[in-house]
Amino acid sequence: MTQVAVLLFNDFETLDVFGPVELFGRLKQHYHILFYSLEGGLVKNYHGVAVNTSKLEELKNGAGIFLIPGGYGTRVEVNNATLLDLIKSVSMQSEFVHTVCTGSALLAKTGLLNGIKATSNKRAFDWVITQGPNVNWVRKARWTKDEKYYTSAGVSAGMDMTLGFLCDRHGIEFARKTAFEIEYNWIEDMEEDDFYEQ
Amino acid sequence: MTQVAVLLFNDFETLDVFGPVELFGRLKQHYHILFYSLEGGLVKNYHGVAVNTSKLEELKNGAGIFLIPGGYGTRVEVNNATLLDLIKSVSMQSEFVHTVCTGSALLAKTGLLNGIKATSNKRAFDWVITQGPNVNWVRKARWTKDEKYYTSAGVSAGMDMTLGFLCDRHGIEFARKTAFEIEYNWIEDMEEDDFYEQ
């Protein structure tokens, strides 16, 4: 049983979180989901979604998968040194770290992505790369994987990345079956990126 | 400003709810989202997601859009006469009613879909149609619309239906721009259904 620890902060992006949660959540025999935030308690976003969380410091031993979403909140949190320190230590202790959308900006800011391939939201890309000048940023990608780090493009791409992770771990038929069950047209090729504009 | 009232019940399907919520939620100038359940309070599903809700009876004047998701919980709720009565009265008072996945089983059970085109989750279809023998069920569809009722196929299809609704209301360029912003490959044709198997 792999624990999926989802980081939340105010103004996280709804689908960045609940796309992967739909996929991991339905695989009850393999994955167990828990939500965390810096302070614990109810975390809200501007879509009107509020989720109850545990304190991130309880995760000091890391998780099987540490999932960092994006959203407008990242613009604030890249300046939150306390949160960044905890993101860094939890990420170092975790078996895998997944970021969706501008979640890669938070991870980049910790320094852990230096020399690592990563991607992010297309429309926020120029801002994201300023958070980690030494990251090997890949502008045209649905998602990237490098060592234990998976990073996806914007919002919906988190689902393709999660299915890509399920493929790497459980095989292509398992991933295709999971996508089929939610009637999702999985983009299987991590380099296929319809949203890249030169 | 259109109010989107989302019905929740135990073991709702995560993405049925948060796919449409992502789309409506980011259009703050047009839509405002609120969550309801029969009893009010915290509603949970087996993915580990818990959402705070208001009592459905507070919605007796209806909403701009009443959104009914699916999920395993529908198997229980089709036998909940109190809930079905409220779903019926709220739906009658609402300007539009949207269902995702097996949410159409709940709406069908109220009788409001009699003679109306509707669809549902592929893998649950044979069960769903038993909840409304007089509904004009469409097995091959990404989504349907008929009078004020929009119904989608399984899980992910709720996002395509929501974009279809945005297209009907705000125009194709508005819907395409919204899909582009979340890097989503919108299936624009409601009759294009890759998950239909004869």
Closest chain A C-alpha to B92 CA, distance in angstroms: 25
3-state secondary structure of B4: strand
Strand duo B2-7 + B65-68: pairing: parallel
Instruction: Report the residue from A18, A153, A182 with minimal CB separation from B18.
Output: A18
* Residue entry with tokens 């409506």: B24
CA distance linking residue A171 with residue B73, whole number of Å = 30
pLDDT of amino acid B9: 98
Question: pLDDT grade, residue A192 (50/70/90)?
Answer: very high
Q: Count CB pairs under 8 A between chains A and B.
A: 116
Per-residue 3-state assignment (H helix, E strand, C coil) for B77-117: HCCCHHHHHHHHHHHHHCCEEEECCCHHHHHHHCCCCECCE
Predicted local confidence at residue B113, as pLDDT: 98
pLDDT of residue A197: 83
Chunked mean pLDDT (size 10), chain B, 198 residues: 98 98 97 97 92 94 98 98 98 98 98 98 96 98 98 97 98 98 97 90
Tens-place pLDDT, residues A103-162: 999 999 999 999 999 999 999 999 999 999 999 999 999 999 999 999 999 999 999 999
Find the closest chain A residue to B24 by CA distance.
Answer: A47
The pLDDT of residue B100 is: 98
* Closest CA–CA distance from residue B186 to any residue of chain A (Å): 10
Would you call B18 and A182 a contact, using CB atoms and an 8 Å cutoff? no
pLDDT for A193 equals 94
Cα dist from A78 to A52, A108, A131, A154, whole Å: 22, 9, 8, 18
Taking the whole predicted model, whether its pTM rises above 0.80 is answered as: yes
What distance in Å separates the CA atoms of residue A136 and residue A138, rounded to the nearest whole number? 7
| Residues of A contacting chain B (CB within 8 angstroms) | 13-15, 17-19, 21-22, 24-26, 28, 32-35, 42, 45-52, 121-123, 153-157, 180-185, 187, 194-195
In this prediction, residue B41 carries a pLDDT of 93
Task: Quote the ipTM score.
Answer: 0.95
